[in-house]
């Protein structure tokens, strides 16, 4: 049953990707999409479509669709891991301030002229925000879910203010607008390089996270219970939180601070497959990919020719879900 639902979700992901590539101002059929892909993979000697249409598929839409899949998968995985390891149903890289930290790191590197190292800056930023959150949690003598969120608000506010100041200080005109749109969360202008970066970081982090699914189950009753089941709690915690900081940092470098994906997706998937992380993690990863793909497709097609930052859509969906989660878990928050 689990295997079936996973394969079904995988098929849905592929189908969604092909359909999403056909959607947009220029009408392109699924057949054309396949032939362009096969052509570029060297299986079709001559492209059967015009060069313009070929470029729309291969240079614009396909990289963007793949980037959306990767970013969604990464953010959903991050959220699932954070919820398990902090035992906080409200945990999400965006709500805990990691995304804002990553944005600050990315903008800092960008304005220092280190555009190529921007992902590194974003990773350092999200790691810094995570470290700050953990230090504050220790000072508070343990982080309840609401304390963690309040800490996240504080870190977000601080990082956002610093980011805004940096932009105010150094950016002008076009770059100003571009940075603002990216800050709100947008996959517009995604390139093959972005898709490759997202894929690379997923290939690095996802196996590590998926291999620890059962260990995450052991956290259901807290650290001591996990330790008594043979889990090396400190090591697992630092490894997996490090992986989520890396995933969040890179995804923010690619798509800006796209919020709530790490909250909405794991909770929805939990309702379908339950809390066991051996099932939850792979399902959440695919569901996150599909969710991101369709919200981004909506972002670029709904108000064509203008483009909505996808972060606006995920927040429109995410904020009410946040409230629902809050109501459901009101006893502990």
Partner 1 sequence: MSLLITGLSVQKSGRPILTDVSMAAPSGRITGLLGPNGAGKSTLLAAMLGLLPAEGRITFDGHDLPNMSRRARARMLAYVEQSASTEERLTVQDVVALGRIPFEAAWQAAPSPEDADIIARAMQEAGVASFARRRFATLSGGEQQRVQLARALAQQPRLLLLDEPTSHLDIQAQLQLLTLLRRKADAGVTVLIALHDLNLAARFCDHLVVLSQGRLAASGTPPDILNPTLLRDVYGVAARLLSDETGGPPTIVYDSAIPGSAT
Would you say 48 or 274 has its CB closer to partner 1?
274
> If binding is defined by CB under 8 A, does position 205 make contact with partner 1?
no
Quote the CA–CA distance of 88 and 96 in Å, as a whole number: 11
Please, what sign has the CA dihedral across residues 292, 119, 79, 277? positive
By CB under 8 A, which span of 51-59, 149-157, 187-195, 213-221 interacts with partner 1? 213-221
Q: How far is the CB of 233 from partner 1 (least distance, A)?
A: 9
Among 15, 225, 272, 324, binds partner 1 (CB under 8 A): 225
* Integer Cα distance of 274 and 328 in angstroms: 16
- What six digits make up the tokens of 9? 């979700």
Tokens 């035992």 correspond to 87
Q: Which of 114, 227, 272, 323 binds partner 1 (CB under 8 A)?
A: 227
Pick from 228, 239, 303, 320 the residue near partner 1 by CB under 8 A.
228
Are 268 and 71 in contact, with CB atoms under 8 Å apart?
no
Of the candidates 298, 309, 308, 307, the one whose C-alpha atom is nearest the C-alpha of residue 255 is 309
Toward partner 1, which CB reaches closer, 1 or 52?
Answer: 1
Among 122, 218, 257, 287, indicate the residue that binds partner 1 (CB under 8 A): 218
Q: Residue 231, interface with partner 1 (CB under 8 A)?
A: yes
Please say whether the beta carbons of 84 and 146 come within 8 A. no
Counting contacts by CB under 8 A, is residue 239 touching partner 1? Answer: no
Q: 152: which residues sit within 8 A by CB, 6+ positions away?
A: 95, 96, 97, 133
Whether the ω angle into residue 216 lies within 30 degrees of 0, i.e. cis, is no
Q: Which is nearer to partner 1, 191 or 236 (CB)?
A: 236
User: Smaller CB distance to partner 1: residue 86 or 248?
Assistant: 86
| Residues at the site binding partner 1, with contacts judged by CB under 8 A | 2, 87, 89, 211-212, 214-215, 217-218, 220-222, 224-225, 227-232, 270, 274-276, 278, 329, 332
């Amino acid at each position: 049953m689990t295997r079936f639902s996973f394969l079904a979700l995988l098929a849905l992901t592929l189908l969604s990707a092909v359909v999403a590539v056909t959607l947009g101002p220029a009408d392109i059929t699924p057949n054309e999409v396949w032939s362009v892909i096969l052509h570029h993979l060297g299986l079709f000697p001559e492209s059967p479509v015009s060069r313009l249409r070929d470029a729309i598929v291969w240079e614009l839409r396909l990289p963007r669709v793949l980037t959306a899949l990767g970013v969604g998968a990464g953010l959903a995985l991050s959220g699932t891991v954070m919820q398990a390891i902090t035992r906080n149903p409200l945990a999400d890289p965006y709500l805990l301030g990691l995304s804002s930290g990553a944005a600050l790191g990315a903008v800092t590197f960008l304005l220092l002229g280190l555009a190529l190292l921007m992902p590194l800056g974003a990773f350092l930023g999200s790691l810094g925000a995570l470290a700050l959150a953990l230090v504050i949690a220790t000072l508070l003598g343990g982080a309840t879910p609401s304390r963690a969120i309040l800490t996240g608000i504080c870190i977000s506010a601080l990082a956002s203010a610093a980011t805004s100041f940096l932009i105010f200080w150094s950016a002008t005109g076009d770059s100003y607008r571009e940075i603002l749109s990216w800050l709100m969360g947008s996959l517009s202008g995604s390139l093959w390089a972005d898709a490759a970066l997202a894929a690379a970081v997923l290939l690095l982090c996802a196996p590590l996270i998926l291999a620890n699914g059962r260990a995450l189950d052991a956290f259901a009753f807290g650290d001591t219970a996990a330790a008594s089941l043979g889990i090396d709690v400190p090591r697992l915690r630092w490894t997996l939180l490090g992986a989520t900081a890396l995933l969040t940092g890179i995804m923010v470098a690619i798509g800006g601070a796209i919020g709530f994906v790490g909250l909405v997706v794991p909770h929805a998937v939990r309702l379908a497959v339950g809390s066991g992380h051996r099932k939850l993690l792979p399902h959440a990863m695919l569901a996150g990919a599909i969710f991101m793909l369709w919200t981004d497709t909506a972002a670029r097609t709904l108000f064509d020719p203008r483009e909505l930052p996808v972060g606006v859509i995920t927040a429109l969906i995410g904020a009410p879900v946040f409230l629902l989660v809050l109501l459901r878990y009101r006893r502990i928050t």
